[in-house]
């Protein structure tokens, strides 16, 4: 017996056309593969249990002060129709703070698109049967999987809102990566006239995985979440940060043709640009971009002043507009994290790669990247 969403996917025009097309595999075999992928993608959201997850996660959440900007945009968008949230991706903590930002204000939770590496063990059961996360196989070229995923997402949007990460996975280098457009294409295929894309951005004073990500800079292989979690616990000792979630003006999808690649790419780039402007520019990013191998506070404040002026001119979402305050807050956080050290009145770099990771987070807002002499 097939469930309703499986039947809906199998009856979609693009799936029927693919099944009846000429392929190396017989039609029954292709159909079996589609059904297997649908079983892998199957997810269930149990909202009452979902809300209760705040309590076992308290040891992590208590280290992070959550702030939300323009939540009224999400409230109005969900009242008007179906919503596709599109966000940047900084940390595994994103999966916690962004849905909670919605839940704190009584907004229905979306299905979360997440890497399939997060679906092992007990966490995988929670994602699949409680939070309603959608396991995504990234970087696969299997046409059967890709057409099944897009059809499933299109049908899912008839029943739920969806949150995706426009960059795909987390940024290991710190920079805001180019957009991935596959899930946006799938959302357009849903054909919902009431669908809107709500850009949103998350920023942290300190990313809990900063040392882990900065050390690799480039993702070389897919690691199990259990291994990554063990590393995160190590760097969580003494960790304290803010998480700032900002929502932006909805982007209506009418006028974008799902069968036109140029239209899909245009929507993806428009969404990425909106997210880039929403990303809160925190003091640690300013200090990281202004820092030199050895610098006095006064020199650092002078470089920060130039940077703040350039960022403000680009329309950046500034957390602090006073360069002195930015240096005070950012330098204090980096010294406590062990990234910088203050010796005889001069700031010196202890963790160069970590500092570069934070500096790259605002490069998309600058016409020319900051000089990299550190």
Residue 164 bridge partners (DSSP): 86
Going along the chain from its start, the domains and CATH numbers come out as 1-30 (no CATH), 58-278 (3.40.1130.10), 281-365 (1.10.10)
Separation CA 228–CA 248 (nearest Å) = 31
Q: Could you report the per-residue pLDDT of 317-367, keeping only the tens digit for each?
A: 999 999 999 999 999 999 999 999 999 999 999 999 999 999 999 999 997
Separation CA 354–CA 359 (nearest Å) = 9
Residue 243 bridge partners (DSSP): 66, 204
Separation CA 43–CA 118 (nearest Å) = 13
Separation CA 370–CA 307 (nearest Å) = 9
pLDDT band of 220, cuts 50, 70, 90: low
In 3D space, the residue among 219, 135, 229 whose CA is nearest the CA of residue 174 turns out to be 219
Residue 113 bridge partners (DSSP): 134
Bigger pLDDT: 192 or 127? 192
Would you state the pLDDT for residue 2?
54
Q: Could you report the per-residue pLDDT of 24-67, keeping only the tens digit for each?
A: 778 888 999 999 999 888 877 666 655 666 555 666 778 899 99
Question: Taking 70 as the threshold, does the pLDDT of residue 222 lie above it?
Answer: no
Question: Taking 90 as the threshold, does the pLDDT of residue 310 lie above it?
Answer: yes
Query: Structure tokens of 60?
Result: 């992590």
**Could you tell me if 85 and 184 are in contact, meaning their C-beta atoms sit under 8 angstroms apart?**
no
State percent of the chain over pLDDT 90.
Answer: 63
Separation CA 302–CA 148 (nearest Å) = 54
Mean pLDDT over each residue of the chain, to the nearest integer: 88
Separation CA 59–CA 297 (nearest Å) = 35
DSSP state of 131: B
Write the CB contacts of 115 (distance below 8 Å, at least 6 apart in sequence).
135, 136, 138, 169, 222
Separation CA 51–CA 48 (nearest Å) = 5
Helix 225-235 with 121-129: angle, nearest 10 deg: 100
Please, what sign has the CA dihedral across residues 32, 150, 172, 245? negative
Would you state the pLDDT for residue 1?
46
Would you state the pLDDT for residue 369?
53
**Could you tell me if 260 and 213 are in contact, meaning their C-beta atoms sit under 8 angstroms apart?**
no
Would you state the pLDDT for residue 355?
97
The alpha-carbon radius of gyration of the chain (Å, integer) is: 22
Separation CA 204–CA 244 (nearest Å) = 6
In 3D space, the residue among 91, 69, 113, 67 whose CA is nearest the CA of residue 249 turns out to be 69
In 3D space, the residue among 277, 239, 240 whose CA is nearest the CA of residue 69 turns out to be 277
Separation CA 254–CA 257 (nearest Å) = 8
Q: Could you report the per-residue pLDDT of 85-105, keeping only the tens digit for each?
A: 999 999 988 988 898 899 899
Write the CB contacts of 168 (distance below 8 Å, at least 6 apart in sequence).
89, 138, 177, 180
């Amino acid at each position: 017996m097939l469930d309703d969403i499986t039947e809906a996917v199998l009856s979609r025009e693009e799936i029927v056309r693919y099944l009846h097309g000429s392929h190396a595999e017989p039609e029954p075999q292709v159909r079996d593969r589609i059904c297997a992928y649908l079983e892998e993608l199957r997810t269930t959201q149990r909202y009452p249990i979902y809300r209760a997850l705040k309590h076992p996660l308290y040891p992590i959440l208590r280290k992070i002060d959550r702030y939300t900007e323009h939540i009224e945009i999400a409230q109005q968008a969900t009242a008007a129709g179906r919503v596709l949230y599109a966000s940047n991706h900084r940390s595994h903590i994103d999966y916690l703070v962004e849905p909670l930002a919605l839940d704190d204000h009584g907004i229905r939770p979306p299905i979360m698109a997440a890497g399939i590496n997060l679906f092992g063990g007990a966490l995988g059961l929670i994602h699949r049967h409680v939070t309603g996360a959608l396991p995504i196989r990234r970087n696969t070229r299997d046409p059967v999987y890709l057409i099944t995923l897009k059809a499933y997402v299109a049908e899912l949007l008839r029943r739920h809102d969806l949150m995706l990460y426009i960059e795909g996975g987390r940024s290991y280098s710190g920079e805001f990566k180019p957009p991935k457009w596959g899930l946006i294409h799938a959302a357009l295929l849903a054909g919902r006239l009431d669908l809107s894309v709500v850009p949103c951005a998350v920023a942290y004073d300190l990313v809990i995985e900063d040392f882990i990500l900065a050390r690799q800079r480039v993702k070389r292989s897919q690691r199990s979440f259990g291994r990554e979690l063990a590393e995160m616990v190590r760097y969580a000792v003494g960790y304290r940060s803010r998480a700032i979630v900002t929502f932006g003006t909805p982007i209506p999808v009418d006028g974008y043709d799902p069968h036109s690649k140029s239209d899909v790419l245009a929507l993806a780039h428009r969404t990425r640009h909106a997210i880039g402007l929403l990303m809160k520019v925190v003091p640690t990013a300013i200090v990281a971009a202004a820092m030199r191998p050895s610098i006095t506070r006064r020199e650092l404040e002078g470089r920060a002043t130039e940077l703040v002026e350039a960022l403000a001119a680009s329309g950046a979402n500034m957390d602090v507009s006073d360069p002195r305050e930015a240096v005070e807050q950012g330098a204090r956080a980096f010294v406590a994290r062990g990234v910088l050290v203050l010796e005889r009145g001069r700031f010196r770099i202890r963790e160069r790669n970590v500092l570069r990771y934070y500096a790259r987070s605002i490069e998309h807002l600058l016409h020319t990247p900051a000089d990299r002499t550190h």
